[in-house]
Chains A and B, each alone.
Chain A
Amino acid sequence: MPENPDSEEVVETTGAEVSDETSEAKKPEPKKPVRKEREVPTVPVNLDEKSTQLSSFLDTNCPENISPSIGAEADIVTITVDKKNLIEACNYLKNDENLQFNYLSLVTVVDYEAISETFELNYHLVSLKFRHKIAVKCNLPINDLSIPTISEIWTTANWFERESHDLFGVIFEGHPNLSPLLLFEEFEGFPGRKSFPFHDYQEW
């Protein structure tokens, strides 16, 4: 007898709806809560002794033709350079006797297309000798996503750059092999970007 419970349920639900409507009509409309605009704090800069020294060293000694702007994020010194000076800046950071950033840790692309129409490249460098670290930043306008490769300076960058080319479509000029690494050959689009329809994408 499957029909009976079904019909009972229908009666119950309609009953509930009716009572809701009447109660709503009696009561005054509840005020909509006004949502406060939450102030977004930023991470305070908190450099340790080593990083402060590094920052002041770069301030005074960095060659002028690189024209960097030196800043800091949380606990790490950042140096922002133009893409045409990138190779020069990297060579300087690696070969200067007082810096010796001989270890490339990470290459990251951050998609700021919606905010400032740029992609930001982050190169995190570590000096195994002096134990200090730095982030080299480089902004790419969305309509010209090419940047010279640094894989000849640090071989580590090779696969990171291939991956960034795969997922973000950044073109690394002079890279020995930019064939797809994580994605398959026929894949279309750049799934790392914010604009990629991630949840709508269907492979099959």
Chain B
Amino acid sequence: MQVSQSQINEDAIDLMINMGPQHPSTHGVFRLVIWVDGEKIQKVEPHIGYLHRGSEKICESESYNQIITLFDRLDYVGNLNNELAFSLAVEKLMDLEIPERAQYIRVILCELNRIASHMLFYGVYGLDAGATTPMLYAFRERERIQELFESVTGARLMHNYIRIGGIKEDVEKDFKEKVHKLIDHLKESIDECDDLLSNNEMFLVRTKDIGIITADEAIDLGLSGPSLRASGVLEDIRVTDSYSIYDRFDFGIPIGSKGDCWDRYFVRVQEMRESIKIIEQALADLPEGEIITPIKGMVRPPKGEVFVRTESPRGDLGVFVVSDGSDKPYRVKVRPPSFVNLQALELMLRDTYLADAVLVLGSIDIIMGEVDR
């Protein structure tokens, strides 16, 4: 699915437009060079790397528990899912048994994190389309989730809560009531948000039939998460390659039919409802007991390598860890879902109108901290 040079009519290109790196709708420091013919986009060239911090290289000189803080800073909207991915990888290397209670708390918090992340997407996407009100609603709801995170982990954003072998500390006594109250509230507000934007006439006109990606193209480009499911591919790693305790819960996988911007948007809205189902089931089964498997001394996994795939709010978050038996990893490589999804932008934007570029970019839901690492 390469954009070959022969397909582009060079004579027709009459203007080069530079979008970013400092642009409010690029969701971070991202530069997009667009060549247009009139209003139609002929060719785009994404430039990334403005936020490259060498996270993977830094991992090689940190101990395993310190690396969790680095993973917090990759996808800074879905932090707990990132922490979980790395912990799972190291736990698989060490063949650790995780206490039940820790597993359940991890799942509850990760799913809440997914809702918070999708809420942010919902608000910002509305803003991209020119609707200011949804953003205020979404941030209000997200703030409630952040407050719960603050009471549990001590931080609103950079939680550093999941440890190798379990979690940092037990939740408060009134955790169950708090979460019940929160999800009762969230159920209503997700419906409210849905009513507000999803079938809005103006929004439909802006997002339907724009940036279409077919299922075959999506698989070839390695799209993952909601962007892949919007094209009609039934693939959710929580179900198809289950990790942690996700196989115990009963929940649906929303998919789209066309793979346009609206499908990508609506899959996320529906996913929030599915996440609430998981949280409800997990809360009902939440057992008492230990919260962490104690590890004697430093974390020193045996020699070997492991690759773990998890479903982060943005898609297939993979972590590849090579251990040489010391207390620092030999190599850590992240498969950032945003990085791979962003590759599809070139294909999505071809032959669309310039005014839709922002909406197509927004619909992939990129986080530049994860793209550039």
Instruction: Write the residues of chain A forming the contact surface with B, with a CB cutoff of 8 angstroms.
Output: 38, 40-44, 46, 73-76, 102-106, 108, 110-111, 122, 124, 126, 128, 131, 133, 135, 151-152, 154-156, 158-159, 176, 180-184, 191-192, 194, 198-199
- Residue numbers in A under 8 Å from B320 (CB-CB): 106, 108, 122, 124
Q: Can you list 12 A-B contacts with CB-CB less than 8 angstroms, sorted by A residue number?
A: A41-B302, A43-B301, A105-B318, A105-B335, A124-B335, A128-B233, A131-B240, A152-B2, A155-B1, A156-B340, A159-B342, A159-B343
| B322 and A156 contact, CB distance less than 8 A | no
| A184 and B49 contact, CB distance less than 8 A | yes
| B331 and A110 contact, CB distance less than 8 A | yes
Q: Which of B241, B309, B343 contacts A155 (CB 8 A)?
A: B343
A104 to B318, CA, bound (A): 12
**Which chain B residues numbered 282 to 297 have a C-beta less than 8 Å away from chain A?**
none
Say yes or no: is B23 at the interface (Cβ < 8 Å to chain A).
Answer: no
Residue among B49, B93, B373 with max Cβ neighbours from chain A (10 Å):
B49
Look across to chain B and name the residue whose beta carbon is closest to the beta carbon of A198: B57
A135 to B308, CA, bound (A): 12
**Extra inter-chain contacts (5) besides given A105-B222, A105-B307, A154-B222, CB under 8 Å:** A44-B95, A128-B219, A155-B343, A159-B339, A182-B49
| A110 and B222 contact, CB distance less than 8 A | no
Look across to chain B and name the residue whose beta carbon is closest to the beta carbon of A102: B219
A24 to B222, CA, bound (A): 67
Say yes or no: is B220 at the interface (Cβ < 8 Å to chain A).
Answer: yes
| A154 and B220 contact, CB distance less than 8 A | yes
A156 to B218, CA, bound (A): 10
**Which chain B residues numbered 322 to 344 have a C-beta less than 8 Å away from chain A?**
322-325, 330-331, 333, 335, 339-340, 342-343
| A128 and B220 contact, CB distance less than 8 A | no
| A198 and B52 contact, CB distance less than 8 A | no
Q: Which of A38, A110, A183, A199 contacts B322 (CB 8 A)?
A: A110
| A40 and B302 contact, CB distance less than 8 A | yes
| A76 and B307 contact, CB distance less than 8 A | yes
A151 to B1, CA, bound (A): 10
A168 to B354, CA, bound (A): 36
**Which chain B residues numbered 208 to 250 have a C-beta less than 8 Å away from chain A?**
219-222, 233, 235, 240-241
Say yes or no: is B48 at the interface (Cβ < 8 Å to chain A).
Answer: yes
A181 to B94, CA, bound (A): 34
A102 to B233, CA, bound (A): 13
CB distance from A138 to the nearest CB of B (A): 15
A133 to B222, CA, bound (A): 14
| A124 and B318 contact, CB distance less than 8 A | yes
A28 to B147, CA, bound (A): 60
- Residue numbers in A under 8 Å from B373 (CB-CB): 182
| A103 with B57, Cβ < 8 A, contacts A44-B95, A152-B2 known | no
* Number of chain B residues whose Cβ lies closer than 8 Å to a Cβ of chain A: 46
Instruction: Write the residues of chain B forming the contact surface with A, with a CB cutoff of 8 angstroms.
Output: 1-2, 48-49, 52, 54, 56-57, 60-61, 92-93, 95, 219-222, 233, 235, 240-241, 301-307, 309, 316, 318, 320, 322-325, 330-331, 333, 335, 339-340, 342-343, 372-373
A124 to B235, CA, bound (A): 17
| B335 and A181 contact, CB distance less than 8 A | no
- Residue numbers in A under 8 Å from B325 (CB-CB): 38, 40-41
- Residue numbers in A under 8 Å from B339 (CB-CB): 159
Look across to chain A and name the residue whose beta carbon is closest to the beta carbon of B53: A182
- Residue numbers in B under 8 Å from A176 (CB-CB): 2
CB distance from B46 to the nearest CB of A (A): 9
CB distance from B317 to the nearest CB of A (A): 11
| A156 and B221 contact, CB distance less than 8 A | yes
Q: Which of A42, A104, A122 contacts B303 (CB 8 A)?
A: A42
Q: Which of B93, B235, B240, B318 contacts A74 (CB 8 A)?
A: B93
Residue among B2, B54, B307, B318 with max Cβ neighbours from chain A (10 Å):
B307
A106 to B322, CA, bound (A): 14
CB distance from A94 to the nearest CB of B (A): 10
| B343 and A181 contact, CB distance less than 8 A | no
CB distance from B61 to the nearest CB of A (A): 7
| A105 with B316, Cβ < 8 A, contacts A110-B331, A131-B241 known | yes
| A42 with B304, Cβ < 8 A, contacts A122-B320, A155-B343 known | yes
CB distance from B7 to the nearest CB of A (A): 13
CB distance from B1 to the nearest CB of A (A): 5
Look across to chain A and name the residue whose beta carbon is closest to the beta carbon of B344: A155
- Residue numbers in B under 8 Å from A108 (CB-CB): 320, 331, 333
A159 to B307, CA, bound (A): 20
| A43 and B233 contact, CB distance less than 8 A | no
| A182 with B52, Cβ < 8 A, contacts A41-B325, A156-B340 known | yes
CB distance from A36 to the nearest CB of B (A): 14
| A73 and B302 contact, CB distance less than 8 A | no
- Residue numbers in B under 8 Å from A199 (CB-CB): 61
A126 to B222, CA, bound (A): 10
CB distance from A46 to the nearest CB of B (A): 8
| A40 and B343 contact, CB distance less than 8 A | no
Q: Which of B49, B56, B335 contacts A183 (CB 8 A)?
A: B49
| A73 and B340 contact, CB distance less than 8 A | no
A183 to B77, CA, bound (A): 24
